[in-house]
Structure 1
Amino acid sequence: MSSTSNKHPYHLVNPSPWPFVASVAAVVLAVGAINYMKEGQPWVMLAGLLLVLYTMYVWWRDVIREAQKDKSHTKEVQFGLKFGVGLFILSELMFFVAWFWAFFNASLGGSPAGDVWPPEGIEPIHTFGLPFINTMLLVISGFVLEWGHKGLMKDNRKRAILGVYGAFGLGFVFMCVQLYEYGAAGFGFTDGIYSSVFYMATGFHGFHVFVGLVSLFICGVRLQKGDFTKDQHVGLLSTSWYWHFVDIVWIFLFVWVYWWGNSAFFAQ
């Protein structure tokens, strides 16, 4: 129901199955990921991932209809959506707090391996090789996306499209470099506490990059269709916030895991 028929500016959402489906998808993905890490069987995890992607598509489709067709996204509704995205990013930050906690606990002596870090037999990835290249890619992508966003605010749609797709391209290269880095690494996920924490922290970040890439691609398509305007572009703004969050988390990963964690400071 459109908010124009109400005496208030808020949007009362119609009953939707997608919150429940999203919860089921998240559980399947999490259980599948655990099974993959323990048994090496990826099928449940892949099924969960596909279900998550499907839920993202149909849920976003409904939200876009509310904004474009029903004209339900008033300024008050837009504020609520932005506030919700901010809380979501904050909740995602807590995941990374856990990974950093595990890293510092292990590296500073919270485990037997903490006496020497990285543990003996582990040759860490060179700090100023591929990790540094990836850092530059993500930082530049953040500036490119912001440049595109500012273009939309000036009614320059072409600049906005270039900025979004430019950030997407740099992010895609980032993922390719990280996959190559994993293939070239001299240690596996089960080769001790260092390996486990390293792959969980960087891999979880990589998943967030993937989600950001999907969001950027959708924003690029919507810009080409003429969906966003300078007064109503919550989807693009939310994606921009999320991408900057991904940038900042990676900088922390680079500084603490790749640089500080690999330094001779730990040599005993």
Structure 2
Amino acid sequence: MHSASKFLAGQGAVLGGVIVDDGRFDAVASGHLFPHLVQTDRLGGASYAEKYGRRARGQYLRESVAPRFGPSPSPLNAFLIGQGVETLSLRVERQSANALVVARWLETRPEVERVDYVGLPSHPHHELGRRYLTRGSGSVFTVTLRGGLEAARHLVQSVRLITHMTHLGDVRTLVLHPQSTSHSARTVAERERAGVFPGTIRLSIGIEDVDDLIADLAQALDGTASVPLDEFVEAVDVREVVNA
């Protein structure tokens, strides 16, 4: 399942979703989890599994779910999503490359306690990322600041190029404070298990020029970088990051 509002469209201007089914789902073997696929219908007719085999799940969505919830986006939404998909691979490649540069830079900052990004060697699943994410590690990651809630609030309120937004997967770089938004209904213990602390912010990196992003974060952190900005950007060529 994909939220077409995010990476597929890329510009945060539409609402939509996509379900992809490749016809290999064994409904009979999974009948205890999906009884609606193996039970006979109200009139005693054959089940979806009996009628459609490995296409049972997709056909159930078409016949039962879609008519009730509405399968078709508006023409304009469909057009915008289609336009976005045409540039999906280029956007995600650039977003992933930018994210790795920004994440590496953030690790050098004294204000930063930790950066949770699978593209960094410091991440516990870095080797799995190298094995499976061969074209980049994505654009969304979290950063936890040493100054806690006040530091996070200061950064979110101080960025100028980066946008404060709940969205992700956009061509624009977005920042969010999970504790006070997406995870506000969780207990402290639940948030900590998810890696969400008072000083944690979530970044969804866009396609802007990476030195502009770093400059914006640098002025928002309002401190001295352990690596000079111009030297760091010079040393990391965004075009080579995807293959790093």
TM category, shorter: under 0.3
Higher strand share: 2
* TM-score where L is the length of structure 1: 0.22
